[in-house]
Chains A and B, each alone.
Chain A
Amino acid sequence: MRVSVYGCGLIGLVTGVALADVGNDVVLVACEGEDIERLRAADISFEEPGLKERLQRELAAGRLRIAADRERGFEHGQVHMLAVTSDHYETGRELLVALATHRPDPITVVNQSTFSMGAALRLKEAMLAAREGEENLNDVYLLVLPSFLQEGAAIQGFTRPQRILLGADEEWGLQLVQELLRPFLRNQGRLLTMPTKAAEFTKYAINGMLATKLSFMNEMANLADQIGVDIEQVRKGVGSDPRIGYDYIYPGCGFGGLKFSEELLQLAATVEENVEESFLLRTVLDTNEQQKEVLFRKAWTHWQTRMRGKTVALLGASFKPNTDHIDNSPALVLMEALWAQGVTVRLYDPKALERVKAHYGPRDDLVLCDSLYQAAEGSDALMIATEWKEFWSPDFERLGELMKARLIFDGRNLYNPEFMKELGFTYFGVGRSTAFV
Chain B
Amino acid sequence: MSVRQSPAWQALERHYREAIEGAHLHQLFSADPDRFDRFSVSEQDYLLDFSKHRITEQSFQLLLRLAEQQQLRDWIDRLFEGAPVNSSEQRSALHTALRAPAERTPRLAGEAIAEAIHGNLARMGEMVAQIHSGHWRGYSGKAITDVVNLGVGGSDLGPFMACHALEEFRDPRARGLQVHFVSSIDGSQLAELLKRLNPETTLFVLSSKSFTTIDTLSNAETAKGWLAQKISDESILIGQHFIGCSARPEKMSEWGIPVSNQLQFWDWVGGRFSLWSVIGLPIALLIGMDGFRQLLAGAHAIDQHFREAPFERNLPVIMALLGVWTGNFIGVKGHSVLPYDGRLKFLPNYLTQLEMESNGKSVTRGGERVDYDTCPIIWGEVGPNAQHAYYQLLHQGTQPVSCDFIAPVRRYRAGTAAGTRAQLQSQQQLNLANCLAQSRVLMFGDQALPVEEREGRRSDQHYEGNQCSTTLLIKELTPATLGGLVALYEHKVFVQSVIWEINPFDQWGVELGKQIAKETHRAIAAGEGDFDDSSTRGLLAFIQRVQR
Contact = CB atoms under 8 A, between A and B. Distances in A.
Nearest to B136: A340
B275 to A, nearest CB: 29
A341 interface: yes
Contacts of A296: 141
Interface residues of A, number: 15
A301 B130 contact: no
A305 B142 CA distance: 11
A300 B135 contact: no
Contact of A305 (B133, B240, B418): B240
A134 interface: no
Interface string B230-252: 00010010011000000000000
Contacts of A290: 142
A304 B232 CA distance: 11
A273 interface: yes
Q: Nearest 9 CB-CB pairs, A to B?
A: A297-B141, A340-B135, A300-B141, A305-B236, A296-B141, A301-B141, A297-B140, A305-B240, A300-B137
B126 to A, nearest CB: 11
A410 interface: no
A10 B142 CA distance: 37
Contact of A341 (B135, B140, B233, B418): B135
Contacts of B240: 305
A273 B135 contact: no
Interface string A283-306: 000000010010011111100110
Nearest to B143: A293
A299 B135 CA distance: 14
Interface of B: 130, 133, 135, 137, 139-142, 233, 236, 239-240, 418
A342 B294 CA distance: 31
Nearest to A338: B135
Contact of A293 (B133, B139, B141, B418): B141
Given A296-B141, A297-B141, A337-B135, 20 more contacts: A273-B418, A290-B142, A293-B141, A293-B142, A297-B140, A297-B142, A298-B141, A299-B141, A300-B140, A300-B141, A301-B139, A304-B233, A305-B137, A305-B139, A305-B236, A305-B239, A336-B135, A340-B133, A340-B135, A341-B135
Interface string A338-355: 001100000000000000
A98 B368 CA distance: 87
Contacts of B133: 340
Nearest to A274: B418
Nearest to A337: B135
Nearest to A294: B141
A301 B139 CA distance: 7
A384 to B, nearest CB: 18
A304 B233 CA distance: 9
Contacts of A340: 130, 133, 135
Contacts of A304: 233, 236
A250 B372 CA distance: 80
Nearest to B236: A305
B6 to A, nearest CB: 63
A341 B130 CA distance: 10
Contacts of A336: 135
Most B CB within 10 A of own CB, among A299, A337, A341: A337
A383 to B, nearest CB: 14
6 contacts: A297-B140, A300-B140, A304-B233, A340-B130, A340-B133, A341-B137
Most A CB within 10 A of own CB, among B140, B141, B239: B141
A301 B141 CA distance: 7
Contacts of B233: 304
B199 to A, nearest CB: 14
Contacts of B139: 301, 305
A334 to B, nearest CB: 12
A300 B133 CA distance: 17
A222 to B, nearest CB: 11
Nearest to B139: A305
Contacts of A337: 135
A105 B133 CA distance: 52
Contacts of A293: 141-142
Contacts of A298: 141
Interface string A111-138: 0000000000000000000000000000
A273 B233 CA distance: 49
